[in-house]
Structures are given as C-alpha cells and as structure tokens.
Amino acid sequence: MIITDLVQKGESELYKVYIDDKYVCLLQAETIVKNKIKKGQEIDIQTFDKIFYQSQILACKNHAIMYVSKCLKTQKQVETYLKQKGYADEAIKNAIGALLEYGYLNDKYYAECFIKSKKSAKGINYIKNALRLKGIKSDIIDEVAKNFESDLNDISLIAKKYLKNKQIDKNTKQKLFRHLLSKGFNFDKVNKVVNMFVKEGNDDWY
C-alpha cells in the first residue's frame, strides 16, 4: 500500500488520505505529524489501522471539547452526542476521561448552576427530575439539593401572574393549585401561597 496523496480539507485540521490513488479516510493533522506520514510512503494495513484509530480518538476528543465549549453539558449529554456522531465506545470513553481531567465536565457544578438558574421559577421536584433526565446521578442531585428551599415570594409572583385578569372562583383556585404543583413546588408551600390569595381557605377544593 502506498500513500499517494494527502489533501487538506478546506482550512480544517483534517486531511484526505489517498492510498493507491483511492480516497480512504480523513486523518487529523496531529496524527499525521505524530506518525510522520507523508506522500509516497509505503504502509501496511495493520499499521494504517492503528494510525486511523489514533486519529479517531483525537477527533472524538476535539469534537467533545467543541461541544462543551458552547455551554455547560453533563457527562451523559456528551456521551449521547458523541454516540450520535458515530464514535466508538472506546473513543468516547477516552474523550470523557480527557474532559474530566481538563475540568470541562463536572456534573456537580452543572447541577448547582442549573438549580440557581431555575429556583425562582421551578420547585425542587421539577428540578430533581430535570437533572435526572440530563443524566446526573442521584447522589449528586441529593447533595446539591439538600439545602434548596423554594422561596414563598417567588411562588407568590408566579401565582399572581397566573391569576392576572382572572376571576377567583372555585375552578380558578383548583387550576392555580395544579399549576403551581406542576412547576415542582411542594404541596405545603403551594397550599400556603394559595391561601395568601384565597382568604376563605381551601379545604373544599384542593
């Protein structure tokens, strides 16, 4: 087998590799330099397979870094993204390990930031479920949520917004109660807030 050409793909770090005048694959520039690959070089299939695997590992890692550089991601989100890109499990495992080592992935920090961004609009039940769906482990969720307290003022603002221009009757009371529960706020705090708006009590309608 003879490497008959190496052609850069646009302005990227990728090169098209031609063997025996036929296009074979893309290789990372770093892999080409590291393995001293050059035009006219003779190479056997076993050696080339190893080089291609190295390039895939590097490409997977670079893809992962670009993905997390846009905004915070969980480890599970990165794994899912890389699988969708067609990378092998070993390449994904390597990329995840690198991101953890670099500090680009930190599920606990992600969970803390998520809580801060949602706590004024969502209750702890909603937040916990959302974090589970994002792949955060239960022990991490429990740790970051243990001191979480929904602010009655925040719940009251949501209730006030919901009730705007509405007549407060039995049906509206029920809908308000369900609306606040659907946002993940716990029953007792929802009950307190509703009672702030419904002075006559709520024993007959929730």
Euclidean distance between CA atoms 33 and 23, whole angstroms: 19
Q: Domain spans of the chain?
A: 3-102, 107-145, 152-197
- Please name the helix (run of DSSP H) or strand (run of DSSP E) that holds residue 6, with its range, or none: strand 3-8
Does pTM top 0.85 for this prediction? no
Q: What is the mean pLDDT of residues 145-169?
A: 80
Specify the amino acid at residue 78: V
What pLDDT is recorded for position 199? 63
* DSSP-derived secondary structure for 12-67: SSEEEEEETTEEEEEEEHHHHHHTT--TT-B--HHHHHHHHHHHHHHHHHHHHHHH
Percent of the chain with pLDDT over 70: 96
Under the banding of pLDDT at 50, 70 and 90, the label for residue 64 is very high
pLDDT in tens, 76-89: 999 999 999 888 89
Q: What is the mean pLDDT of residues 175-198?
A: 82
Percent of the chain with pLDDT over 90: 26
Is residue 141 scored above 60 in pLDDT? yes
> CA-based Rg of the chain, rounded to a whole angstrom?
27
What pLDDT is recorded for position 203? 44
Tokens at 200, concatenated: 């006559």
What pLDDT is recorded for position 100? 93
Euclidean distance between CA atoms 126 and 67, whole angstroms: 26
Q: Which residues contact 23 (CB under 8 A, 6 or more apart)?
A: 16, 17
In CATH, what class is 3-102?
A: mainly alpha
Euclidean distance between CA atoms 4 and 39, whole angstroms: 5
